[in-house]
Amino acid sequence: MEGSSMELAALIAQVQANTAIAVGLIFVATAVGTAIGFALLGGKFLEGAARQPELAGMLQVRMFIIAGLLDALSIIGVAFAALLMFANPLLGPIQQAFGG
Amino acid sequence: MVEQPQAGAELARAIAWLLRIQALLSAGAGLVFAVIGGLPMALAALAGGGVGLFLTALTGLRVALSQGAEAKHMVRTFYRAMALKFVLAVILFVIVAKWFAGYFVPVVTGYAVTLIAYWLAMQKIGASAQLDNGN
């Protein structure tokens, strides 16, 4: 019985460790991708506004809409990371297999 | 800077249109999930859509407040609004992940559906730009 619970604890620890790495990778990927995207977007906006200041307002509307698409995947990634961190569905089958 | 009030109105119109379409889309997602899986799934989809709607409204409001300012001020406000959006997205999705742990697919679908509004907005802007060019 003790061996079984040790095995369960080891399996859960393994899943949690791998989940922590996955969550870290998700955050890194979303941060890098969004940072590059926003940097390009902001840079191009400033360039456009410097060339034609009268179009700054119109460019801002387009920047706002593109930013919504740009951070969409990042936020979905963050949502999955939140799920893995706080309600990990990968632990369920292990606990079921051990009758927990 | 004569064009600024017109640009401000354009931004306000764009945000209002986005919010309207997002509300419609998340209501549609809620209906679909209500048919598929009943009330809990519908609520989860509505929660996801609500997160998208709230984040768009908040970011839009903050960006709209910087209208008419210098370009560098606009960019600064924009980056701050986006940072706030990310932080709030993390907090809201943590809360939603705890509440709807068993129904996460409808939550993410509800959120993803609200993003269609941005594609539609881009299409709308492209179409109006073509009209302005006389094509």
Phi, psi of A71 (to 5 degrees): -90, 5
* Dist. CA A51–CA B71, nearest whole Å: 11
Quick one: average pLDDT of B76-101?
89
Provide the whole-model pTM: 0.83
Q: What is the pLDDT of residues A12-69, one digit of tens each?
A: 899 999 999 999 999 999 999 999 999 999 999 999 999 998 888 888 888 999 999 8
Q: What is the pLDDT of residue B5?
A: 60
Which of B8, B59, B97 minimises the CB distance to A83?
B97
Domain ranges of chain B: 4-132
Shortest CA distance from A52: residue in chain B: B1
**Per-residue pLDDT for A1 more than 60?**
no
Q: Using CA atoms, how far apart are residues A1 and B29, in angstroms rounded to an integer?
A: 47
Chain B residues 6-65 within an 8 A CB cutoff of chain A: 6-8, 10-11, 14-15, 18, 55-56, 59-60, 63
Q: For the segment B8-41, what is each residue's pLDDT rounded down to a tens digit?
A: 787 888 899 999 999 999 999 999 999 998 999 9
> Pseudo-torsion of CA A51, A54, A60, A65, nearest 10°?
-100
**ipTM score assigned to the predicted complex:** 0.82
Q: Is the pLDDT of residue A96 over 60?
A: yes
Give B88's contacts in chain A (Cβ within 8 Å): none
